[in-house]
């Protein structure tokens, strides 16, 4: 590509970083970096009443946590600022005045009541899509000047040319065609001096020299209005790519009101999903690499990401797949990285002040291969902080199916109680010796010991579990279960 590559992500401060916005930001970032271009983050903050305090700071923080670093934004300005729309109001007014001067736009003095009355009349006449009737376009210059002189509230409407077509070649959908006859004259500047989205976004993209616009498919209907503004100013429009929907596991469009799925990146971050796992997973929502490989580093994705592999079909946000991928990334961590990652979750749930570092290290590492996300470590390790006092129905059922374990458990308790050097190796030796002495092996050996020692039928390596529980707790567990069986 010879043209300077500049892509942008332009969130509004009306909410926090959710899955859909993350995909949009990520695809813009990857495409920009693939072509050694710039990724810009600017803020569309003109919907003041809906703006949420802290939303933009949160979006920037979570994007950077994911590894999506803007080249230019509000706290990292370049030569194309300002990077918020409220700071550009004078610029929008200047461009609107240029359209007024060339008769490509006109003042509209209609009240909301007048506009609604016109709409109702058109609907009654059978028009499926009512549009503005151009009554203010037909005002004389004298009438316009009189209303301006008297400060009559006004907006500015774009004059949609008759019998024009608007075509673009979408990177996802191919050729897209619109006719001007299907669109009415639309407002570019509201009566409060705030530009409408379809006007402001084009002015911003022109001045920031945006080369590609990658966004969700809901913006397709906005594109003809935006192409009108490019044509009015005789500017070349960017290359458009309208990404397909992201759907949930029921194949319905993701909705922030869907309570079955966490919608915001901060939620995944808080419970211990890794940024590189989320980056990798979301990169595959609407784009596919060549071959079967799905696990890529950020650098690899930048190298292989291109516009020719964008999907034409909806993408499913499969939480199970994300969790599987997160587990792979956890397993790839060094032990030091893993311990630093998991300890804060443990410390937030349990008192670790009297726990030795070696004990904590062993406890955390025995779950490294199976841990799916950071917060899960709290539930996995709970038996080592809160003793299991009641057996589950499954464990009781398992115990009832075991035969002739009384001698094994009695001898195991005796050997454990006499053990002076409490360590994993010594515990393994006791279990091995009992198996040989009593001629039991496999499930008949390990299952009774596990259930009596830990009150659970499943868990990590048995000798490690016994060591971590400690002699006192293991004997207490055995005695409690033996006593309950005797009753």
Alpha-carbon gap, residue 377 to 136, rounded angstroms: 66
Strands 38-41 and 105-108: unpaired
Cα–Cα distance for residue pair 267/152, rounded to 1 Å = 48
- Residue 28, classed as helix, strand or coil, is helix
DSSP string, 122-180: HHHTT-SS-----TTTTS-HHHHHHHHHTT---EEEE-PPTT-EEEEEETTTEEEEEEG
How far is Cα 197 from Cα 108, in angstroms, rounded to an integer? Answer: 18
Closest CA to 164 of 176, 177, 173: 177
What does the alpha-carbon distance between residue 299 and residue 30 come to, in Å, rounded to a whole number? 10
SS3 9: strand
Neighbour-count burial of 290, counting CB atoms closer than 10 A to its CB (0-12 exposed, 13-18 middle, 19+ buried): exposed
Q: Residue 250 has which token pair?
A: 């029921």
Residue 256 designated active-site: yes
Any idea what DSSP says for residue 86? G
Selected catalytic residue, list 256, 303, 436, 441? 256
CA 298, 302, 303, 305 torsion-angle sign: positive
**DSSP structure string for 27-63:** HHHHHHHHTT-EEEE-B----GGG--TTHHHHHHHHH
Q: Which residues are annotated as catalytic?
A: 256
């Amino acid at each position: 590509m010879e043209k300077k590559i500049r892509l942008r992500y332009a969130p509004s401060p009306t909410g926090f970083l959710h899955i859909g916005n993350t995909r949009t930001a990520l695809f813009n970032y990857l495409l920009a970096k693939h072509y050694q271009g710039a990724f810009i983050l600017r803020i569309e903050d003109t919907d003041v009443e809906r703006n949420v305090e802290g939303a933009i700071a949160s979006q920037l923080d979570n994007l950077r946590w994911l590894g999506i670093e803007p080249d230019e934004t509000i706290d990292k300005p370049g030569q194309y600022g300002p990077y918020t729309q409220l700071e550009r109001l004078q610029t929008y007014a200047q461009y609107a005045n240029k359209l007024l001067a060339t008769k490509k736009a006109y003042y509209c003095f209609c009240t909301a009541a007048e506009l609604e009355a016109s709409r109702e009349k058109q609907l009654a006449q059978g028009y499926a899509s009512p549009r503005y009737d151009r009554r203010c376009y037909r005002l004389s210059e004298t009438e316009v000047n009189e209303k301006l002189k008297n400060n009559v509230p006004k907006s500015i409407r774009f004059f949609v040319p008759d019998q024009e077509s608007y075509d673009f070649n979408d990177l996802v959908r191919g050729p897209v065609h619109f006719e001007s006859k299907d669109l009415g004259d639309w407002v570019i500047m509201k009566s409060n001096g705030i530009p409408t989205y379809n006007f402001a976004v084009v002015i911003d993209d022109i001045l920031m020299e945006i080369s590609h616009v990658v966004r969700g498919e809901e913006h397709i209907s906005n594109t003809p209005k935006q192409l009108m503004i490019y044509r009015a100013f005789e500017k070349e429009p960017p290359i458009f790519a309208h990404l397909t929907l992201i759907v949930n596991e029921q194949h319905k469009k993701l909705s922030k009101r869907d309570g079955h799925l966490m919608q915001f990146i901060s939620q995944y971050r808080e419970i211990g999903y890794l940024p590189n796992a989320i980056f990798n997973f979301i990169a595959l929502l609407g784009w596919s690499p060549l071959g079967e490989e799905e696990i890529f580093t950020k650098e690899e994705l930048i190298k292989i990401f291109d516009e020719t592999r964008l999907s034409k079909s909806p993408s499913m946000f499969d939480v199970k797949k994300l969790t599987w991928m997160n587990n792979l990334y956890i397993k790839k961590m060094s032990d030091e990285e893993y311990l630093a990652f998991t300890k804060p979750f443990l410390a937030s749930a349990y008192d670790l002040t009297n726990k030795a570092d070696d004990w904590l290290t062993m406890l955390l590492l025995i779950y490294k291969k199976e841990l799916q996300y950071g917060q899960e470590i709290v539930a996995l390790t709970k038996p080592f902080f809160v003793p299991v006092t009641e057996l589950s129905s499954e464990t009781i059922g398992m115990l009832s199916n075991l035969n002739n374990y009384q001698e094994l458990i009695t001898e195991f308790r005796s050997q454990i109680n006499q053990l002076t050097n409490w360590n994993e190796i010594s515990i393994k030796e006791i279990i091995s010796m009992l198996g040989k002495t009593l001629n039991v092996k496999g499930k008949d050996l390990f299952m009774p010991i596990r259930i009596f020692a830990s009150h659970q039928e499943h868990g990590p390596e048995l000798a490690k579990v016994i060591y971590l529980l400690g002699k006192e707790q293991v004997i207490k567990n055995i005695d409690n279960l033996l006593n309950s069986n005797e009753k």
